[in-house]
Chain A
Amino acid sequence: EPEVTQTPSHQVTQMGQEVILRCVPISNHLYFYWYRQILGQKVEFLVSFYNNEISEKSEIFDDQFSVERPDGSNFTLKIRSTKLEDSAMYFCASRAGRITSYEQYFGPGTRLTVT
């Protein structure tokens, strides 16, 4: 069964460093998302991406964040200068383009630890 994959599973970085989180959405899916979950808190939406551009972003998704789909398979989230409060689990999700289904499929997540 097709699935969303994410790498790495765990990333440790120092404050101020740049990190890139990688995702491979399900093939033929058209909509892509990043969410994050700070320990003990709700899963929060960060950004959605469609047709090679951001379609919606949350207040969390400031200038330190960027997303890219550099080729036909990868979808990346970059944090330019990490802060301690960026420590969280980051989930990538994708969904098909059928208007009748909005079901999102999630990857296993990348645990980001900023020290």
Chain B
Amino acid sequence: KQEVTQIPAALSVPEGENLVLNCSFTDSAIYNLQWFRQDPGKGLTSLLLIQSSQREQTSGRLNASLDKSSGRSTLYIAASQPGDSATYLCAVISPLTGANSKLTFGKGITLSVRP
């Protein structure tokens, strides 16, 4: 059974700092990995999706990497801003149940960027 872990649960950094959010998963046989942002009480906004054949994806100040063999992904945020404060969720799709496969989520990392 796929398990996704995100540590630490919370992180506080000063504005302008570059930071890395970690995600690990137990089963390396994944189709892809998706990073989401969730603001308090709100829905999930997809940030980046990395397919299993890729090693990284970039969007603006965000860069996500994937190392399937070690079961890890990182989300790098450059020059953090107070507006980046949110919970960041990592989720994977495993092929065990076929093409309709569900996302398995980590619990998320709550990021606070201090002005």
Interface residue ranges, A against B (CB under 8 Å): 31, 33, 35, 41-45, 48, 50, 55-56, 58, 91, 93, 99-109, 111
Contact = CB atoms under 8 A, between A and B. Distances in A.
A107 B46 CA distance: 11
Contact of A103 (B42, B46, B89, B100): B46
A45 B101 CA distance: 10
A91 B43 contact: yes
Contacts of B32: 102-103
Nearest to B48: A103
Interface of B: 31-32, 34, 36, 41-46, 49, 51, 89, 91, 93, 97-108
Contacts, number: 60
Contacts of B98: 55
Nearest to A10: B41
A41 B107 contact: yes
B68 to A, nearest CB: 15
Contacts of A55: 98, 100
A2 B102 CA distance: 22
Contacts of B42: 108-109
Contacts of A105: 46
Nearest to A55: B100
